[in-house]
Structure 1
Amino acid sequence: MTSIDEVAKLAGLSTATVSRALSGRGHVSPASRERVRVAAASLGYVVSSRASSLASGRTQNVGVVVPFLDRWFFSTVLSGVSSALMKRGYDITLYSITADADVRHEVFSTFLRRQRVDAVIAVSIELDDDETGRLLDLGLPVIAIGGPNPRLRTLTVDDTAVARLATEHLIGLGHRDIAHIGANPEFDIDFHIPTRRRVGFEQALTDAGITANPAFLEPADFTVDGGFRAAKQLLGRPGPRPTAIFAASDEMAIGAILAARDLGFRVPQDLSIVGIDGHELGEFFQLTTVDQFPLGQGERAANAVLAQLESDADASVGGDLPFELIVRGTTSRV
């Protein structure tokens, strides 16, 4: 097995310099760092995580707590976290919070306290006081995506403002009969995102002098199938039909597009549809959406914990996350 001394000899540098270059801690000139990289690669040298941990007191591992692993939004945020951490030599340990209260308790009371991670990122999970306290007791950097949580550094999207922007886009196109596909109560949990988006929708209508029609409010489950079924209800029942739909997620908006086509409605000529997220399939469906850049959310969270780990423990990392209206082919004037 190749040793660090052999890498140092081939690079023509001291063992201490090679150690700093490989660990990423301490000053090493770009030229020396490149010599170490080339030498290590030519010798097939890989830094031992166990040795590195013993020397630095670090595990080079970040714990990421998520509510779901099989939903597009969360997997995309995780992709952003993973990409940013791997570039800096860190591994990830995933902790999926399930509906089982005992499993959730075990994650915070046992798993995260085994000292196997250097920091924790919590993705769109509303932590109670006990869970927040247990995280803070670890004495590790903690970043929460989704907030607000006054006791933690948080990165937050203003869901009310996001929904207002989507609805105002439809109003600006002349639509007044606007339906909303939101969420069933069982999905209105962490941070009440569906409720916040419905509030933004209703605020935009009120500001425009439009009275919300209760018949134009349909719950779903943030999936394509759920959006399909909700849109079928909105478009298939007797009485006035909407000229536009604001769906609280892109997947539900895609389901609404498919339902409209199935019923013979043209999008956008007969029905405009807008969603929220920035889903990777949005461009394929030409979906107008408010992009909340989930990949960037993950990258920013990872860079935030790395900034605290590697130098500035008091770095200002909280704040609002960006969003942007992306106008494509599913919305048009009445």
Structure 2
Amino acid sequence: MTETPEGRGHVNMADVAERAGVSIATVSRALRGLPGVSARTRSRVLSTVAELDYVVSPAASSLRGATRRVAVVLPRLDSWFSSTMLATVEAGLRQADLDVLLYQVGTEEKRTHFFRDLPTRRKVDAVVLITLPIRPEEEERLDLMGVEVVVAGFRLRDFPSVSVDDVAIAVAAVEHLLDLGHTRIGMIRTSDTDGARWASDLHRRTGYLQALTGHGIDHDPALLVTAPYGVDAGAVGMERLLSLDDPPTAVFCYSDDIAVAAATAARRRGLRVPEDLSLVGVDGNGLGELFDLTTVDQHVVDQARAASRMVLDLLSGREPEETRLTLPTDLVVRGSTGPAPVRAGAGRRSRQ
């Protein structure tokens, strides 16, 4: 059995890329004789292949010529973020006369099926992953595809990616609420992917807790709630928060649509937004503007356009100017946030 120097088991394309000091995409292009790899880099890759005794799988080596098709893989279509990202990516690729194959893999079974079968079908020249949680064994299947891979909305290993700083998003949202005097701040999360966790959710939770800790606020675990994905996720989460003996005066929501549903639930309870309860969402969804929602705009269209350009560059044999692009975000303050209401027991600061 061929082993890595560290004895981790079978050598894969990621091991070759790490040893040669290049990206997996560069290794793939070098082994397939595609343009966009200098003679010096190609020589280094081939030397590393020989050194590690790497054997290219039949599936990975069978791709010859261009299909002019790109696979776009995402957990689900019925969310504003996913549909906006998909529509923008598709338009950019279609303009370059490329066809898009869509794979919706929101369940563990569907993800397993996709990663198991696509490497042998050889249907596409590139794969775009949109906010898709990936397990280690699925990463290896990406290597076997032998095609360009671009990641949109998150980061994955050294694959070319376009994303935002989700920790910073949460910090900006929560610090805005803290600046308004709120100390009892909740968070509503959701999960729309069966059998896996998304990095954006974990990072926004980290930022939420980081902002509270940085201001000496005791975190109450009851204020961090998760509701199953759906149009009513925000309402379900808000009902749980408002049922607490000491409910929050402000809530940071994972997305704008969750925040809108949360506001609806609060108003059903007779609460005023923002006089009794402040809300912040994330996305930059037009729905948020309609509902006068304070949000952190993550410029989804810009992310998608940048991902499309990366795909086109890679398929043309050009190395993108940046392969790990982090785009800026903006806090947009509207009418859903205001000063904390004065009430007894609104929150505690930890003793220093």
Q: Deviations over 1:190-236 (max 9, x none)?
A: 33432321221111011111112233222213444111122122224
Q: What is the rounded CA distance, in whole Å, between the counterparts of 2:183 and 2:122 in structure 1?
A: 56
Matched letter for residue 84 of structure 2: T
Residue 81 of structure 1 contacts residue 301 of structure 1 at CA under 8 Å; is this kept in 2?
yes
Q: Are positions 1:57 and 2:65 aligned together? A: yes
Structure 2 equivalent of residue 189 of structure 1: 196
Change (3 A) 1:79 1:261: same
Q: What is the rounded CA distance, in whole Å, between the counterparts of 1:82 and 1:186 in structure 2?
A: 22
Q: Are positions 1:267 and 2:273 aligned together? A: yes
Residue 288 of structure 1 contacts residue 326 of structure 1 at CA under 8 Å; is this kept in 2?
yes
Q: What is the rounded CA distance, in whole Å, between the counterparts of 2:178 and 2:195 in structure 1?
A: 26
Structure 1's unaligned 5+ residue stretches are 1-55
Task: Give 1:152's match in structure 2, choosing from 140, 159, 162.
Answer: 159
SS in 2 for 1:131: helix
Structure 1 equivalent of residue 135 of structure 2: 128
Task: Give 2:206's match in structure 1, choosing from 190, 199, 205.
Answer: 199
Matched letter for residue 190 of structure 1: R
- Runs of 4+ in structure 1 off by over 4 angstroms are 184-188
Q: Deviations over 1:64-113 (max 9, x none)?
A: 11111222221111011012112222110011214243x43332232354
Structure 1 equivalent of residue 219 of structure 2: 212
Structure 2's unaligned 5+ residue stretches are 1-63, 341-352
Matched letter for residue 70 of structure 1: D
SS in 1 for 2:287: coil
Q: Are positions 1:277 and 2:283 aligned together? A: yes
Matched letter for residue 254 of structure 2: A
Change (3 A) 1:106 1:243: closer
Q: What is the rounded CA distance, in whole Å, between the counterparts of 1:189 and 1:276 in structure 2?
A: 21
Q: Are positions 1:92 and 2:120 aligned together? A: no
Query: Aligned residues, how many?
Result: 277
- TM-score scaled by structure 1? 0.76
Change (3 A) 1:328 1:201: same
Q: Deviations over 1:7-39 (max 9, x none)?
A: xxxxxxxxxxxxxxxxxxxxxxxxxxxxxxxxx
Residue 148 of structure 1 contacts residue 154 of structure 1 at CA under 8 Å; is this kept in 2?
yes
Matched letter for residue 235 of structure 1: L
Task: Give 1:180's match in structure 2, choosing from 168, 172, 187.
Answer: 187
Residue 146 of structure 1 contacts residue 191 of structure 1 at CA under 8 Å; is this kept in 2?
no
Larger radius of gyration: 1
SS in 1 for 2:271: coil
> 1:243 Cα shift?
1.4
> 1:168 Cα shift?
0.6
Identity of aligned residues (%): 39
